[in-house]
């Protein structure tokens, strides 16, 4: 009989060990829903030295009513509300998704407060962090704002939300990964899978990565305890990543053609301008936007 695992949100059904994706769940979530790992990551991010995981209050959105808006990780500590997301494919819409997440979280926190009273309702200040470990090259650190998605720019921005994306693939953000071994091990594990899928089938690549990590002491305790689940989840994630990249490329091409008469050219020009400001190289912009070098030069001049 299938039984939902409260910690990771997937179901394990009999000998098949199949993962039921009723809730969004990833290997990243499985690792950092463990309060010890999450506290280690928070300390690495902030330079703090907390040792008691009980100080963390995890409040990740999990209610089935909001399944389409379930965020990866959110938690309270230090009087602050931290929202962490993981991405293997770059998505410029995360500031908007974070806006939805924080609205739901604040709504839950203040449900017993008198929002129409004379006393000010106090809120924990939020921070929005994205951990990126995709195959495409991206800057080591990249800031994305809600205002980047606005149809036009105004002199005064009335609503803003700023996110910070940290690239953890390869040699990026090495000091952060040294400070948080779990994050480093996770990055090494995923990098191994991506490298091995270049020359072998996905299932074989995942199995080889797991064997090597176990022998090298990488995620050793986690993989010994959750080997089957980790393998199945990794296969699912990488298949999903490939599917999303294919769909995005198809939709982008279709959208570019259909949108030329609806102002999409200006939107693309603004996206490219933002990417240039973030320090992306011409090659990265051409790859992500699926344009030619000549088209990039045209947008730069425009």
DSSP tag of 159: S
Cβ neighbour number for residue 135 with a 10 Å cutoff: 16
β partners of residue 80 = 77
Q: Which residue is associated with the tokens 């979280």? A: 105
Strands 3-4 and 73-77: unpaired
Mean pLDDT of 252-279: 66
pTM of the model: 0.74
* Of 5-19, 124-138, 255-269, minimum mean pLDDT range: 5-19
Measure the CA–CA gap between 26 and 125, rounded to whole angstroms: 27
Residue 200: per-residue pLDDT:
93
d(CA 128, CA 161): 9
Distance, in Å, from the CA atom of 295 to the CA atom of 129, rounded to the nearest integer, reads 32
- pLDDT for 228 equals 93
Half-sphere exposure of 240 (CA within 13 A, CB side): 13
Structure tokens at 239: 């298949």
Give the span between the Cα atoms of 280 and 273, in whole angstroms.
Answer: 10
Q: Which residues contact 173 (CB under 8 A, 6 or more apart)?
A: 140, 141, 166, 167
pLDDT tens for residues 44-78? 999 999 999 999 999 998 754 444 557 899 999 99
Q: What is the pLDDT of residue 5?
A: 45
Quick one: tokens of 278?
């973030």
| Cα–Cα dist 4/139, whole Å | 38
pLDDT score, position 171: 95
pLDDT tens digits along 163-200: 999 999 999 999 999 999 999 999 999 999 999 999 99
């Amino acid at each position: 009989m299938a039984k939902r695992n409260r910690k990771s949100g997937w179901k394990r059904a009999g000998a098949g060990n199949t993962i039921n994706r009723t809730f969004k769940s990833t290997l990243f979530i499985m690792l950092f829903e463990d309060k010890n790992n999450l506290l280690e990551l928070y300390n690495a991010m902030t330079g703090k030295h907390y040792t008691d995981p009980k100080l963390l209050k995890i409040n990740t959105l999990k209610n089935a009513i909001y399944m389409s808006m379930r965020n990866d990780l959110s938690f309270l500590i230090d009087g602050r509300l931290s929202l962490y997301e993981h991405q293997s494919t770059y998505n410029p819409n995360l500031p908007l998704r974070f806006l939805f997440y924080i609205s739901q979280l604040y709504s839950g926190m203040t449900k017993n407060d008198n929002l129409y009273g004379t006393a000010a309702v106090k809120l924990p200040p939020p921070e929005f962090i994205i951990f990126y470990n995709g195959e495409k090259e991206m800057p080591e650190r990249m800031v994305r704002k809600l205002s980047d998605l606005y149809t036009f720019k105004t002199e005064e921005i009335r609503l803003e939300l700023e996110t910070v994306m940290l690239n953890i693939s390869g040699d990026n953000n090495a000091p952060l990964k040294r400070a948080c071994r779990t994050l480093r091990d996770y990055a090494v594990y995923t990098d191994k899978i991506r490298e091995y899928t270049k020359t072998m089938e996905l299932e074989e690549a995942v199995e080889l990565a797991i064997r090597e990590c176990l022998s090298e002491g990488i995620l050793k305790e986690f993989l010994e305890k959750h080997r089957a689940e980790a393998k199945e989840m990794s296969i699912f994630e990488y298949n999903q990543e490939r599917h999303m990249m294919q769909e995005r490329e198809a939709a982008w091409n279709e959208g570019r053609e259909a949108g030329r008469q609806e102002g999409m050219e200006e939107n693309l020009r603004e996206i490219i301008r933002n990417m240039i400001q973030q320090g992306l190289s011409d090659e990265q912009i051409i790859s992500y936007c699926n344009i030619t070098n000549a088209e990039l030069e045209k947008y730069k001049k425009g």
